[in-house]
Structure 1
Amino acid sequence: MLRTALSIFCVVLALMAGCLFVHEYRHFREASRSLNERIPRHATSAKLAEPASLSRQVDQMRFCVDAPQTVLFSIYPDATRQGFSEACLSQAQTILRSSPTVSIAWLAKGVSLAQLDQPGPARAALANSRLCGPREGWIAIRRLRLALTLDVGASDRGAPGLSNDIHLLASDPKLRRDLAELFVRSGTKQDLIISMMEEAPAEDQRLFLREVRRINER
C-alpha cells in the first residue's frame, strides 16, 4: 500500500514538473523573440502565456512596461496598441490576484491603463507600485516615465511618491545617468523634475547637473 502511494506521489510530482517546464519553456521562447515580433503577438493574444516562476513574471511585466515607451510601438496601428495593452492589463491583474505586492505588475497595469486612456486608474496603479517597491530603482525610473506621461504635478496627491522616486534615482550613480537622460528628453516637464531635485541632498544635485551637462555636450 505504501509503495503504491509513493508511486502515485512520484507520478504526480513528475506531472507537475512537466507542466512547470512547459510554462517556462513557452515564456523562454516568447522572450527570445524580437520586439517587432512580440508586440503583435501580444496584441493578438487574448491571454498571455503564464510563467510559473516569479522571475519570469517580472520579465513579462517589464516588457509590458518597456514596449510602449519605444518608437516602434508608437507606429503600430491603434488596434495593435490597444490589443497589446489589453493583454498586458489582463496578465498584470492575473499576477496581482495571487501576488498583490509585485511592484512591476502594478506598474504594468498603470502603463496599460494609460495606453487605454484611463488616467485615473493608471495613477492609482502607479501609486500602488510605489507602495510595493519604494526602493527599487530599476522600477522607479520606469515609474517616472509613466508619471511624466500622466502629467503628475507637484501639487498632485502622488507628488510625494514622485519626489521619492526622483531622489532615489539621483542618489545612485547608474540611475542618476538614467534620470539625466530622461530629464534632457522631458522638454517642458523639466521644471517638475527640477522642483523635486531642489529637495534632494546638495551633493546629489551637483552630480545630477554634472550628468546633464555631459549629455548636453555629446
Structure 2
Amino acid sequence: MKFYRHVLIAVAALSVIFSGYVARSELKVMVRDRDEVTAFLSALQSSPKFEDAMSHASYVRQMTHCDDLMSSVSGVLMGPEALSNIAHGCLERAQQVLRSTPTMSLAHLVKADAQYINGDNELAIAALQVSQQTAPAEGWLATRRIRLAIKLGPDDLGASAVSDARLMVQDRVYRPYLARYFVATPEVQNWVIGAVSEINGRDLRLFYDLIKDQSLGGAAL
C-alpha cells in the first residue's frame, strides 16, 4: 500500500509541475512583446523562438502574429535577412502546431506566407489552398489569404481564391478590405471583377461604391 501511495504522490507532483510549466508557457504567450520593429530587430540576429504553448488560443495568437509579421511593410524596410529569419521561425512553429492540430487553417496560411518568402511558390499555393479548404467560411481568414493570394497571383490559386473574394464581397465587415486591395493593386483588378461578377446586385453595388470612394480618397494595403 505504501508503494502505491508513493507512486500516486509522485504522479500528483509531476502533474503539478507539468501544469505549472504549461501555465507559464501560456502566460508568456499572452504577454509576449508583439511590437513589429522589436521583432524584426531581433530577427536580424536569429529566427524568432516561440513559447511551447498548447492551448488553441495561444496557437491562434502565435500564428496571427506570424502572419502579421510576414505581411508587414517592416519586413521590406528591415531587409531580406530579417524577413527570412522571421519566415524560418514561423514556418517551424506552424509545423509544430499542425502536428497537433492538422486542420488549423491559420497555421496553413503561415506555412504559405513563409514558403512564399522563401521563394517556394508552388508550396505556398498548395498551403494556401489547404488553408481555404479547412476554413472556407471564415471571413477574417479569407481577408488574410487574399492578401497573400494577390502577391502570388490569384489566377494560380483557382477556385479557392475566387471563393475568398466572393466571401469578402458578401460580408460588410470584410468588403472594404477587398476594395482597398483592388485600388492598391491594379494588376489584379480584372481578376477581382471576374471573381465577384456573379454576386447579387446589392453586395456588388456596395463593393463598387467602396472602390469609388477609396479611389477618390486614396487607399493603402
The TM-score with structure 1 as length reference comes to 0.91
2:188 is the alignment partner of 1:189: yes
2:160 aligned partner: 161
- Amino acid corresponding to residue 63 of structure 1 in structure 2: H
1:105-129 Cα shifts (integer Å, max 9, x gaps)? 0000000000011100000000110
Tell me how far 1:68 sits from its aligned partner.
2.2
State whether structure 2 residue 86 is matched by structure 1 residue 84: yes
Q: 1:42 to 1:142 in 2, by over 3 A?
A: same
| CA gap 1:210/1:46 in 2 versus in 1, 3 angstroms | closer
For residues 141-169 of structure 1, the C-alpha deviation after alignment (integer angstroms, 9 at most, x for no partner) is 1111111101131xx4x311111101111
Are the equivalent residues in 1 in contact too, given 2:70–2:86 (CA < 8 A)?
no
Q: Is the 8 A contact 1:109 1:125 kept in 2?
A: yes
Question: Which residue in the other structure is 2:112 paired with?
Answer: 110
Q: State the match for 1:36 in structure 2.
A: 37
Question: Using the alignment, how far apart are the partners of 1:133 and 1:82 within structure 2?
Answer: 27
Uncovered stretches (5+) of structure 2, i.e. residues with no partner? none
CA RMSD of aligned residues (A): 1.8
TM-aligned CA distance change 1:132 to 1:42, over 3 Å: farther
Alpha-carbon distance, 1:95 to partner: 0.9
Q: Which amino acid aligns with 2:105?
A: S
Higher mean alpha-carbon deviation, 99-108 vs 60-69, is at: 60-69
Q: 1:46 to 1:178 in 2, by over 3 A?
A: closer
Runs of 4+ with deviation above 4 angstroms: 2-6
Matching residue's letter, 1:203: R
Once the two structures are aligned, what percentage of the paired residues are identical?
A: 28
Following TM superposition, by how much is the alpha carbon of 1:60 offset from its aligned partner in structure 2, in angstroms? 0.9
Letter in 2 for 1:54: H
**Shift of residue 4 of structure 1?**
4.2
How far is the alpha carbon of 1:19 from its aligned partner? 0.8
Q: Number of residues paired by the alignment? A: 214
